[in-house]
Structure 1
Amino acid sequence: MDLRQLEHFLAVAEEQHFTRAAQRVNIVQSGLSASIRALEEELGAPLFIRSTRRVDLTAAGKVLFEEARRVLAAARCARDAVAAVQGVARGTLAIGTTHSLSPFVDLPVLLARFHAAHPGVEIRLCQGGSAVLLEKLRDGRLDLAFVPMQPSPPDDIRATMLACEELVAACAHDHPLAGRRAVPLERLGRETFVDFQTDWGTRRLVDQAFARTRMERHTGFEVNDLATALDLVALGLGIALVPEAIIAAHPADPQRPPLAVATLAPPEICWELGIAHAERGAADAGPVNPAARAFLALMELDVVAAAA
């Protein structure tokens, strides 16, 4: 049994699908299947119940799942400890991010600058909902994650706010709400919403705002990416509550009608973005991984330069 086999096992267990798992770990599906079969033969027990639609863990697989996560987290800590001795010349940097980061942080440029400064460090990037990213921070699969600050991060996660943006109602250019100001939330209750999956930070923020007013709303379209959401809005199929900077940064598309915006009446709904890492005790000194600390230092330099 080796660490790579455990990584393959965790990928299949979490994705519940061999094709998606193979894409995640960058291996052909036949190679992934062979790796899992070899692991099952070595352990003398089947790890998955396979069907045409999905794969589920057997009892033995469930036991291995927790142990595999613990072993891989320990291995990562060991690599980080060695990297700390060597500085930032080698090692890995694993970063997670929610979608729609570009109006607030130019992550590709930051990663390119980090790579130029530390070419020996392997960079890994993944996207996902905030709940998934926080879980990956906890078990050591990520060093840093860009996540919404609502709800407040758990006690074992430390986050620093990067942006605070008011939500506005995006709508089609010919929608009755287009251009209106101080629209009560109650008025939006009559609209069809285009929204994100329930574990997305923006979705939770909007759900909480409507729950406080004890109003129901109709979500007709539930999507996984901002571009699709805004296309549906532009074509008049619904409205969406999104940070104002998202609309400002949305590129014009000659194949789509333009978007319009309505501002909301107080109290404002504020979307906050932070960068988070797993906390290492009461006197948290930042991420253990020196590469992650170097990346944060690079971000701080950008903030200083922007303010100058």
Structure 2
Amino acid sequence: MELRHIRYFLAVAEERNVTRAAERLGIGQPPLSQQIRALETELDVRLFRRTGHGVVLTEAGEAFLIDARRLLESAGQAIANAQSAGRGETGQLNIGFTGSAAFNPVVPRMIRLFRQSYPGVTLTLSEGNTAELLEHLKSGRVDVAFVRLGAQSPAGMTFHHIAAERMQLVLPATHPLARKRRIKLEALAGEPFVLLPRDASPTLHDVIVGACRNAGFEPVLGQQAPQLSSVVNFVAAEFGVSLVPESVCRIQVEGVVYVDVAGANITIRLALASQEPATTSKVANFLAIARQLTAPLAS
């Protein structure tokens, strides 16, 4: 039994006339009569009884009508579900992000816009460092990832620019230079730097260490912090000083001040990483929203 047989049966049952049903379906009356007879043969029952004005349903036809309507509705819903999934309007999207990425206002704005545009897609968020997230992206554990990049972009993926953030100094409020508006980085030579472990955040670690070396000194590696918010808290506790992306300055902790770096343009890039080409329609839709808010980043 094919779906067209169900459609033919319903048309005849609703019109109660084979000729009118054929006109409604856009086919000839003889082929329609043949298809109805073939359906009756397959079911081994008579579905219609002819009258002087057309046809009426038999008792078997009345019973079949209930399930035929349900079957056609289910088929229509299955088609609609498949088309919706094909357009990326349903399913699940796995998003990875670094701890510092979450502080940039573009990231929650992008996620919020996607949720508003595709409410049928369930979002799963997972945090990790850039190296982990890129591996998860390759293996398919995440579909897209907000990552921090240094001067070079890793090969084999596409990166969509989110922001090139300035790095700012974070100092204890009691530090002798805390009241300065701008400080040269070399003024902090010999001070302990609170950093994330390199294996947890290689890009951020290398940007900070590289900036110190460019300023002419090797940083003193002080207390390590488990996450970026902890860096600010440890500085507040006077374990040392640090450099953080500008968006992290949104963390208002008593006992710290944020100060511009003088004489150097220290930046770290935030980008949205994805496989190329997009693996699913959901990913393509998320990237389209990213392009609305940002610009492509050359690899």
- How many angstroms does 1:241 deviate by? 0.4
Q: How does 1:172-251 map to 2 (within 5 A)?
A: 172-199=172-199, 200=201, 201-213=203-215, 215-247=217-249, 249-251=250-252
Q: How does 1:140-159 map to 2 (within 5 A)?
A: 140-159=140-159
Gap regions ≥5 residues in structure 2: 1-81
Identical amino acids, percent of aligned pairs: 27
- Partners in 2 of 1:214 and 1:301 — Cα distance? 41
Contact 1:95–1:145 (8 Å) recurs in 2: yes
- How many angstroms does 1:106 deviate by? 5.1
Counterpart secondary structure, 2:262: coil
Match of 2:5 in 1: none
| Structure 1 ranges of 4+ moved more than 6 A | 82-85
Counterpart secondary structure, 1:242: strand
Contact 1:210–1:217 (8 Å) recurs in 2: yes
Q: Structure 1 residues 210, 83: CA separation in 2 closer, same or farther (over 3 Å shift)?
A: farther
- Partners in 2 of 1:97 and 1:300 — Cα distance? 18
- How many angstroms does 1:113 deviate by? 4.1
- How many angstroms does 1:84 deviate by? 9.2
In the alignment, structure 1 residue 137 sits paired with structure 2 residue 137 = yes
Q: Structure 1 residues 303, 213: CA separation in 2 closer, same or farther (over 3 Å shift)?
A: closer
- Partners in 2 of 1:194 and 1:228 — Cα distance? 9
Contact 2:160–2:271 (8 Å) recurs in 1: yes
Q: Deviations over 1:194-218 (max 9, x none)?
A: 1112041221211222344563222
Gap regions ≥5 residues in structure 1: 1-81, 281-286
> What's the Cα RMSD here?
2.6
- Partners in 2 of 1:301 and 1:278 — Cα distance? 19
- Partners in 1 of 2:225 and 2:193 — Cα distance? 11
Contact 2:147–2:273 (8 Å) recurs in 1: yes
Letter in 1 for 2:272: I
Q: 2:268 aligns with which of 260, 266, 271?
A: 271
Q: How does 1:70-89 map to 2 (within 5 A)?
A: 86-89=86-89
Bigger Cα Rg: 2
Letter in 2 for 1:224: P
Match of 2:73 in 1: none
- How many angstroms does 1:96 deviate by? 0.8
- How many angstroms does 1:105 deviate by? 3.2
Letter in 1 for 2:220: H
- How many angstroms does 1:137 deviate by? 1.5
Task: Using structure 2 for the length normalisation, give the TM-score.
Answer: 0.63
- Partners in 2 of 1:228 and 1:250 — Cα distance? 10
Task: Using structure 1 for the length normalisation, give the TM-score.
Answer: 0.61
- Partners in 2 of 1:275 and 1:107 — Cα distance? 9
- Partners in 2 of 1:111 and 1:267 — Cα distance? 33
- Partners in 1 of 2:108 and 2:160 — Cα distance? 20
Q: Structure 1 residues 87, 268: CA separation in 2 closer, same or farther (over 3 Å shift)?
A: same
Q: 2:285 aligns with which of 291, 294, 298?
A: 294
Contact 1:149–1:274 (8 Å) recurs in 2: yes
Match of 1:105 in 2: 105
Q: Report how many residues are paired.
A: 212
- Partners in 2 of 1:140 and 1:84 — Cα distance? 22
Q: Deviations over 1:26-57 (max 9, x none)?
A: xxxxxxxxxxxxxxxxxxxxxxxxxxxxxxxx
Q: Which moved more, 1:102-111 or 1:120-129?
A: 102-111
- Partners in 1 of 2:133 and 2:210 — Cα distance? 21
- How many angstroms does 1:191 deviate by? 0.7
Counterpart secondary structure, 2:211: helix
- How many angstroms does 1:111 deviate by? 3.3
- How many angstroms does 1:300 deviate by? 3.6
Q: How does 1:57-68 map to 2 (within 5 A)?
A: none
